[in-house]
């Protein structure tokens, strides 16, 4: 208790210091103006009303970046330590858990967007079926849904609460093969090990869990799909420190780094075909595993394609590799970051060459938090 009180007092002291520095800067503007301009341009009421004073103040503040950073750090520390609040976009939960506000807010037109996206998924499934291509939707629950006990006083809006069950029920009614990610993850012995505390993404452990659930669903529902078998091995290749994407909404460094949530470390995994030398096929660039394809080896047309968001595209989570090992087939990963789940599928279906005669299965990873967002959807 004493330690927390001391932190609060320090934050209040720094906040007062910044306020005092700002006031002194304001009163010093007249002196600065005198040294740079003629006497007819002195500080006066006209400067205040015309906005000149505000522009001069902003210029002085921007020029002294250290003071600006100081102020940002102090205000962030004040919000975080006293009120457990942060910049717009971030919500503070229990025990260092951070959540994106996207999982809680009601987007304008969210109900309409949800209905349109559900309809798009259904139509995409029908189009693929007409081309004799199977579809498996991998539905990923939001972090706030899986770890609802860690969200603190924050509760999702009504449209967010109903998103997952509404989507799941509709897809099941339409006989769209769907991995119920919530059921798989909530049944895990340690659900809190499946999401990162300071990031919006799952962990490699969660990616592996969902990959093997996908393989089990395929074997149970489409046992005669007849894919080219290929054995893969997944090995631990080290560990990596994660700077969570939610930390950008918490500008405490450098002054209050001691208030920052604890650094997270994830295990890194590498998947490669049995019989291949992994060091001939992969290199590490920072935290991302980049697979280098052999330039002169023959490339067979893909039978299995992975579509989705950064959950699939970011190789740190190794979802692609986990799928290869679980399915025992090669998987072509064409997931993209920053576009949500709907746009990549729309682009894929609008490309006539993409639906080749060799394609037999599309695995489509869809996080629920993107489904109340409106997307420009290509008709097909």
Percent residues over pLDDT 90 in the chain: 60
pLDDT band at 137 (very low <50, low <70, confident <90, very high): very high
Is it the case that residue 308 has pLDDT exceeding 50?
yes
pLDDT of residue 376: 87
Is it the case that residue 286 has pLDDT exceeding 70?
no
- Nearest Cα residue to 154 out of 77, 76, 102: 102
User: Among 199, 302, 312, 314, which one carries the catalytic annotation?
Assistant: 199
Is 302 known to be catalytic? Answer: no
pLDDT of residue 222: 97
Is it the case that residue 145 has pLDDT exceeding 90?
yes
Tell me the pLDDT of the chain averaged across its residues: 81
pLDDT tens sequence across 341-376:
999 999 999 987 777 779 999 999 999 999 999 998
- Nearest Cα residue to 354 out of 131, 125, 139, 121: 131
Give the SS3 label for residue 151.
coil
- Nearest Cα residue to 237 out of 294, 283, 202, 196: 283
User: Among 125, 302, 310, 312, which one carries the catalytic annotation?
Assistant: 310
Task: Average the pLDDT over 228-249 and give the result.
Answer: 93
Give the SS3 label for residue 294.
coil
Distance of CA 379 to the CA centre of its chain: 27
Residues linked to residue 306 through DSSP beta bridges, in sequence order: 333, 363
Which sign, positive or negative, has the C-alpha torsion 162, 167, 168, 173?
Answer: positive
Is it the case that residue 296 has pLDDT exceeding 50?
no
User: Among 180, 201, 213, 312, which one carries the catalytic annotation?
Assistant: 201
pLDDT of residue 248: 86
Half-sphere exposure of 229 toward its Cβ, with a 13 Å CA cutoff?
A: 3
pLDDT of residue 16: 60
pLDDT of residue 40: 42
pLDDT band at 252 (very low <50, low <70, confident <90, very high): confident
pLDDT band at 317 (very low <50, low <70, confident <90, very high): very high
pLDDT of residue 19: 53
- Is pLDDT larger for residue 379 or for residue 206? 206
98, with CB counted inside 10 A (0-12, 13-18, 19+), is buried
pLDDT tens sequence across 39-74:
444 445 544 444 555 555 455 545 554 666 666 666
pLDDT of residue 131: 93
Residue with token string 């009303």:
49
pLDDT tens sequence across 193-213:
999 999 999 999 999 999 999
Is 157 known to be catalytic? Answer: no
* 334/313 Cα distance (integer angstroms): 7
Quote the DSSP letter at residue 195. Answer: B
pLDDT band at 298 (very low <50, low <70, confident <90, very high): very low
pLDDT tens sequence across 11-37:
555 556 555 544 444 444 444 444 444
* 90/261 Cα distance (integer angstroms): 13
Which sign, positive or negative, has the C-alpha torsion 343, 349, 354, 359?
Answer: positive
Q: List strands edge to edge, sheet with 177-180.
A: 177-180, 134-140, 361-367, 304-307, 332-333
Is it the case that residue 271 has pLDDT exceeding 70?
yes
Is it the case that residue 114 has pLDDT exceeding 60?
yes
Is it the case that residue 155 has pLDDT exceeding 50?
yes
Is 310 known to be catalytic? Answer: yes
pLDDT band at 149 (very low <50, low <70, confident <90, very high): very high
**Where in the chain are the domains?**
2-83, 105-370
| Ranges 68-82, 238-252, 324-338, most confident | 324-338
Half-sphere exposure of 40 toward its Cβ, with a 13 Å CA cutoff?
A: 0
Q: Provide the token pair at 226.
A: 């007849």
Distant-in-sequence, close-in-space partners of 318: CB < 8 Å, separation ≥ 6: 204, 207, 208, 234, 268, 269, 270, 271, 289
pLDDT of residue 218: 98
What is the DSSP track for 25-51? HHHHHHHHHHHHS-GGG-S-HHHHHHT
Quote the DSSP letter at residue 261. Answer: P
What's phi and psi for 241, nearest 5 deg?
-80, 135
Quote the DSSP letter at residue 276. Answer: S
- Is pLDDT larger for residue 257 or for residue 349? 349
- Is pLDDT larger for residue 9 or for residue 192? 192
Cis-peptide, bond into residue 254, ω within 30° of zero: yes
Query: Mean pLDDT lowest for which of 64-68, 151-155, 264-268, 361-365?
Result: 64-68
């Amino acid at each position: 208790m004493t330690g927390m009180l001391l932190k609060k007092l320090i934050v209040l002291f720094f906040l007062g210091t910044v306020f005092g520095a700002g006031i002194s800067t304001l009163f010093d503007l007249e002196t600065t103006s005198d040294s740079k301009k003629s006497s007819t341009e002195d500080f006066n009421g006209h400067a205040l009303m015309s906005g000149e004073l505000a522009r001069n103040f902003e210029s002085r503040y921007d020029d002294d970046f250290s003071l600006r950073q100081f102020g940002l750090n102090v205000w962030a520390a004040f919000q975080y330590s006293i009120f457990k609040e942060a910049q717009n976009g971030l919500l503070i939960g229990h025990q260092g858990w951070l959540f994106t506000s996207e999982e809680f807010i009601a987007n304008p037109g969210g109900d309409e967007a949800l209905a349109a996206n559900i309809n798009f998924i259904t139509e995409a499934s029908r189009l693929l079926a007409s081309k004799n291509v199977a579809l498996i939707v991998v539905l990923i629950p939001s972090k706030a849904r899986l770890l609802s006990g860690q969200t603190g006083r924050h509760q999702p809006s009504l449209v967010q609460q109903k998103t997952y069950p509404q989507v799941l029920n509709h897809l099941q009614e339409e006989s769209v093969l769907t991995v119920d990610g919530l059921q798989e993850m909530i049944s895990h012995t340690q659900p809190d090990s499946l999401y990162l505390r300071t990031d919006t993404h799952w962990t490699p452990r969660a990616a592996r869990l969902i990959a093997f659930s996908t393989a089990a669903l395929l074997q149970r529902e489409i046992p005669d799909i007849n894919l080219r078998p290929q054995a893969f091995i997944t090995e631990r290749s080290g560990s990596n420190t994660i700077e969570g994407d939610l930390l950008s909404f918490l500008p405490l460094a450098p002054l209050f780094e001691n208030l920052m949530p604890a650094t997270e470390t994830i295990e890194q995994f590498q998947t490669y075909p049995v019989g291949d030398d992994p060091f001939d096929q992969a290199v590490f660039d920072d935290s991302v595993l980049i697979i280098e394809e052999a330039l002169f080896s023959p490339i067979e047309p893909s039978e299995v394609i992975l579509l989705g968001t950064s959950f699939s595209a970011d190789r740190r989570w190794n979802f692609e590799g986990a799928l290869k090992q679980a399915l025992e087939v090669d998987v072509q990963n064409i997931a993209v970051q920053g576009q949500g789940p709907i746009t990549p599928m729309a682009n894929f279906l609008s490309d006539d060459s993409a639906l080749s005669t060799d394609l037999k299965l599309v695995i489509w990873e869809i996080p629920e938090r993107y489904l109340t967002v409106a997307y420009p959807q290509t008709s097909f």
